[in-house]
A = this chain, B = another copy of it.
Amino acid sequence: MLSPTKLAAAFDRVTDYWSPKVIGQVNGQLLKVAKLKGEFVWHAHDGQDELFYIVKGSLRIAFEDHAVDLEQGDFLTVPSGVRHNPVAREECWVLLIEPAETKHTGEELTERTRSLEEQLS
């Protein structure tokens, strides 16, 4: 028996900022929800695109030569290898799509790095 996943309910499980939770998958790509507030860290994902979809609020994604402002209902795919830094002036709810092997801080291991086990909990 298959059953639907409710996006709003998935966000109820998210209690910490910058701590994605896995809520589904399609062909090896994980769907994750996260609440963001403040500035993250500069990083890149080699060999892995990362999609951001804004469920609530707004998000600026800084790149080395420009920035993209995302509003509710917008999505953006950050291409593999492109350094970026998400900045949320106010609390922002995002849906992320990326492969299971993606570390959300890229190759930068910081206090904000969460293991896949933590993201599945």
Contact = CB atoms under 8 A, between A and B. Distances in A.
Contact of A99 (B27, B71, B75): B27
Interface stretch (A3-11, A12-20, A34-42, A111-119): A3-11
Summarize A's interface: helix, strand, loop or mixed: strand
A71 B76 CA distance: 24
Interface string A15-37: 00000000011110101000000
A51 B68 contact: no
Contacts of A77: 24-26
A2 to B, nearest CB: 5
A64 to B, nearest CB: 12
A51 B24 CA distance: 10
A3 B48 contact: no
15 contacts: A2-B76, A3-B76, A4-B70, A4-B75, A6-B74, A7-B74, A25-B77, A26-B49, A26-B50, A26-B98, A27-B29, A29-B29, A29-B97, A31-B51, A31-B75
Closest 8 CB pairs of A and B: A4-B74, A26-B51, A26-B49, A7-B73, A27-B49, A4-B76, A26-B77, A26-B97
